[in-house]
Amino acid sequence: MNNKQQKVLACIDDSKLSEAVSDYAAWIAQRVDAPLKLLNIINHHHETAASSDLSGNLGIDGRDHLLEEIAEQEQQEGKVRIKQGKALLQAAKERVIKGGVTEPETCLQHGTLIDALVEFEDDIRVMVIGARGKDHEGQSDQIGSKLQSVIRSLHRPILVAYEGFKAPDQIMIAYDGSEGSDKAIDIVANSPLYKGLKCHLVYVGSNNGRLDKAADKLRTAGGIEIISVYLDGKADEKLCAYQLENQIDMTIMGAFSHTRIHDLILGSFTVKMLLNTNTPLLLLR
């Protein structure tokens, strides 16, 4: 058995959502008594189309000189990105310490986010990431270009953060009676993260008794106030409307893949929830 304690991992960049990512990660780490790791990725991959296009029109000496200039420029840009990454991590570290986290770890990783997550996966308890990075800020009709790849690649709970931090008081479990939803119920029942919160257990569809069984399991676990609700209509629309009407602070969904094709693409329902939700979305794996 691996005795190494798993960490809450916060993926931060220079986007506005990184503050919310840090705050939610700090909240989770304290609730579950787990260490917190702050991660910033430096991707050194750059397009070199300019050198390829121009070097063909130059002589050997001119081409060599141009390539030397490009290499020097990339080296300088790399140093700047490292400096920026260290500054982002230091600011995030100070923020989570102020929020009550002791001894947070910082990691400046070179490469890609997916590669880093594959490397760290065994040590991750929960990952926190913003719904949109710097490239998609202000674009509420889109989610971050890396987010879907992260959800496909990482088989750990993922909290997707939206807007500013608010300590959750009321949570909603989007329950559909599937194996994934039942596993999510088990996770919620056995985790200290949800104790003391009011949980809205919501099913969109006709009453088939499965929601009542899930509610009984949560009540038996104790420490969570349960409200069971049946809704009629289109699932994503009804769930998002329920969030607003009941001031839900965090939505929880099961996110499990059973076939290889589902590992390659996200279901349309998950994508719609990612796009239309107005609260943090916790995908339980």
pLDDT over 90, % of the chain: 57
Q: Which residue has the higher pLDDT, 266 or 207?
A: 207
Q: Which residue has the higher pLDDT, 31 or 275?
A: 31
Rounded Cα gap, residues 255 and 266, in angstroms: 9
CATH of the domain at 145: 3.40.50.620
- pTM, to two decimals: 0.85
Rounded Cα gap, residues 8 and 276, in angstroms: 26
Give pLDDT, residue 167. Answer: 95
Residue 148 sits in the same domain as residue 182: no
Domain-located, residue 237? yes
Give the chain's domain count: 2
Residue 99 sits in the same domain as residue 204: no
Give pLDDT, residue 142. Answer: 65
Domain-located, residue 74? no
Residue 25 sits in the same domain as residue 146: yes
Q: Which of 153-162, 184-193, 205-214 has the lowest mean pLDDT?
A: 205-214
Give pLDDT, residue 81. Answer: 85
Q: Which residue has the higher pLDDT, 1 or 137?
A: 137
Q: What is the mean pLDDT of residues 82-111?
A: 95
Residue 156 sits in the same domain as residue 15: yes
Domain-located, residue 51? no
Residue 71 above 90 pLDDT? no
Q: What is the pLDDT of residues 220-278, one digit of tens each?
A: 999 999 999 999 999 999 999 999 999 999 999 986 444 444 444 455 778 888 888 87
Residue 111 sits in the same domain as residue 245: no
Domain-located, residue 67? no
Give pLDDT, residue 97. Answer: 97
Residue 45 above 60 pLDDT? no
Residue listed under structure tokens 């794996």: 285
Laid out side by side, the sheet with 36-42 consists of: 105-110, 36-42, 7-11, 124-130, 158-161, 281-284, 250-254, 170-175, 198-204, 225-231
Residue 151 above 60 pLDDT? yes
Residue 16 sits in the same domain as residue 147: yes
Domain containing 237 equals: 170-256+265-279
Rounded Cα gap, residues 72 and 10, in angstroms: 32
Give pLDDT, residue 1. Answer: 35
Domain-located, residue 72? no
Domain-located, residue 70? no
What is the DSSP code (8-state) at residue 134? G
Residue 157 above 60 pLDDT? yes
Domain-located, residue 69? no
Give pLDDT, residue 52. Answer: 47
Give pLDDT, residue 278. Answer: 79
Domain-located, residue 15? yes
* Beta-carbon count within 10 A of 202 CB: 24
Bridge-based pairing of strands 158-161 and 281-284 is antiparallel
Give pLDDT, residue 136. Answer: 56
Q: Which residues make beta-bridge pairs with 109?
A: 41
Rounded Cα gap, residues 255 and 48, in angstroms: 38
Give pLDDT, residue 263. Answer: 41
